[in-house]
Amino acid sequence: MTLVSQRLASIQESPTMKISAMAKRLNANGLDVIDLGLGEPDFDTPKHIVEAGCNSIKAGDTHYAPTAGIPDLRQAIAEKLNAENLLEVTSDDIVVTPGAKMAVFAAIQALIQEGDELVLIGPSWVSYEPCVAFAGGRVIWGKVDENFMPEELAETITTKTKVILINSPSNPTGAVLEKNVLKEVRDLACDHDLAIISDEIYEKIIYGKEHISIGSMAGMEDRTVTINGFSKAYAMTGWRLGYLTGSKEDMKWVSRLLSHSVSQATTFVQKAGIAALHGPQDDMKSMVNEFRARRDMFVSSLRALGIPCSMPEGAFYVFPDVSEFGNGDVFSEMLLRNSLIAATPGSAFGSGGEKYVRLSYATSQLRLNEAINRIGKLLYQVRQKE
C-alpha cells in the first residue's frame, strides 16, 4: 500500500541518477563498469574555491543566511550577468538556490499552474518534464531537425501555452542555439505573451561558438527567467549552488517558495561561490580544452565505427543515432550487459530521443578509449550475426 499523493506518484526517479547509482553498485561488486551515464565533470573543484569554503566554515559561517542568498554573492552574480550575459539586473533580482536543479524546479512552480503548457524543444534534460508535472502542467514537445535545431516551433503554441524552456548548450544533444534561432523564440514569446525559461548551466562549456542569453534581447527583460549555476563551470556538483534571475515580481514569489522549502543555499557554500566568480578562471578554461579534445576523439571514433553522430558544440555529451540496433533503450541495455558501459537511453530525454543514446565524455581519455574498444567489439559481434 502507498499513501503517496497522486501527483508525486506520477513521477519517475531521475533516469540519470538511477543509471549512475546502478553503475556504482556494479563497480562495488567488482565489475569494471565505465560510467558514461552521468553528466558530472570528473575534475576536482579548483583549490582556491575549496579553500574559500573551508575558511568560511572555520570562520563560523554555519548559520542561516537570507533566503535569496548572501548579499556579496548576489552582487557577484549580478556583476557577472551584467558583464558576460548583458542582462540588466541588480543584486536584488538574483535568487541563489541549492543547485541549478532547484532553480529549475522553483522557476517552473512559479510560472506554471494547473492546465498550463510548457514547450520543450526536442530531446531535453530529464528533470524538466517532472517539474512541470509537479506544477500540474503539461509538456508540449517541439520538433527538431537533424542538427537538433527547432522546426515548426510556432505549431506548438496553443491558448494554454505559458512558457518555452530553452537549454543552450543543450543536455543531451550539445546543440547551441544561434542568434537567428533565439530571435525566432523571442518573436514567438512576444507575439503570444509567453515567458521564457533559459537554462544556461552549460554556458561555459562551449566549443568555439558564442553563448547568447535570450534575456539580453530587446523585449525579453521581464519575460525571461535565466538559470545558471556552479556545478558544471567550476566542477562543483556536490556543493549544490545555482541561481536564477527574472523580473523582481517573479523573483519575490520564487524566494517565498524557497523560504518554505529549502530555506537557502548552504551559507559557506555561497562564500565558495564568491571565490569561484572572483577568482582565476584558468582551471575552467583548461577543463573546457580537455572536454573539447575528448569530444573530438569520441565523435570521430564513433563515426569510424559507423555510428552516425552529430558534432556537439557545447556541454559534455555525445548523442549518437543507434537506430541500427533497434533503439536507444535496446542499445544501452546491450552496452551494459555485453560491454559494461553505462549510458542513458535517448528516451529518457522525452519525445524525439528514442533512437539515440547519450554518452557523457566527462571521464578520462583513457576510459573513453577503453569504451570505444568495447563498443567496437560489441558492434563487430552484432554485425557478424546479421
Query: What residue ranges bind ligand GLU (CB under 6 A)?
Result: 14, 16-17, 38-40, 101, 125-127, 171
User: Which residues are at the interface with ligand PMP (CB under 6 A)?
Assistant: 39, 99-101, 104, 125, 167, 171, 199, 201, 229, 231, 237, 242
Residue 252 neighbours by CB under 8 Å, 6+ apart: none
362 binds, among ligand PMP, ligand GLU, none (CB under 5 to 8 A by kind): none
Residue 344 Cβ vs ligand GLU, minimum distance, rounded to whole Å? 7
299 binds, among ligand PMP, ligand GLU, none (CB under 5 to 8 A by kind): none
Of residues 213 and 231, the one with the C-beta less far from ligand PMP: 231
- State the helix-helix crossing angle for 282-304 and 365-385, rounded to 10 degrees: 20
254 binds, among ligand GLU, ligand PMP, none (CB under 5 to 8 A by kind): none
41: left (phi over 0), alpha (psi -120 to 50) or beta: beta
Residue nearest to ligand PMP according to CB distances in the complex: 99
Cα dihedral 68, 91, 207, 100 in deg (nearest 10): 10
Of residues 242 and 352, the one with the C-beta less far from ligand PMP: 242
Of residues 17 and 304, the one with the C-beta less far from ligand GLU: 17
Of residues 195 and 378, the one with the C-beta less far from ligand PMP: 195
Question: What long-range pairs does 136-142 form, CB within 8 A, spacing at least 24?
Answer: 136/7, 136/112, 137/108, 137/112, 137/113, 137/162, 139/350, 141/350, 141/351, 141/352
- Tell me which H or E stretch contains 18: helix 15-28
Residue 93 Cβ vs ligand GLU, minimum distance, rounded to whole Å? 25
CA distance 254 to 265: 14
B/e letters for 319-328, b = 16+ CB within 10 Å, e = fewer, are bbbbeebebb
Residue 123 neighbours by CB under 8 Å, 6+ apart: 144, 148, 170, 172, 173, 319, 346, 349, 350, 351, 352, 353, 356
Residue nearest to ligand GLU according to CB distances in the complex: 39
- For cell 566549443, the residue is 207
SS3 state of residue 126: coil
301 binds, among ligand GLU, ligand PMP, none (CB under 5 to 8 A by kind): none
CB 307 within 8 A of CB 343: no
100 binds, among ligand GLU, ligand PMP, none (CB under 5 to 8 A by kind): ligand PMP
Residue 231 Cβ vs ligand GLU, minimum distance, rounded to whole Å? 8
126 binds, among ligand GLU, ligand PMP, none (CB under 5 to 8 A by kind): ligand GLU
14 binds, among ligand PMP, ligand GLU, none (CB under 5 to 8 A by kind): ligand GLU
Of residues 364 and 373, the one with the C-beta less far from ligand GLU: 364
199 binds, among ligand PMP, ligand GLU, none (CB under 5 to 8 A by kind): ligand PMP
Pull the grid cell for residue 317: 555529451
Name the DSSP letter for residue 78.
H
Of residues 11 and 382, the one with the C-beta less far from ligand GLU: 11
SS3 state of residue 107: helix
Residue 5 Cβ vs ligand GLU, minimum distance, rounded to whole Å? 23
Of residues 231 and 255, the one with the C-beta less far from ligand GLU: 231
- For cell 529518457, the residue is 348
Residue 39 Cβ vs ligand GLU, minimum distance, rounded to whole Å? 3
Residue 347 Cβ vs ligand GLU, minimum distance, rounded to whole Å? 14
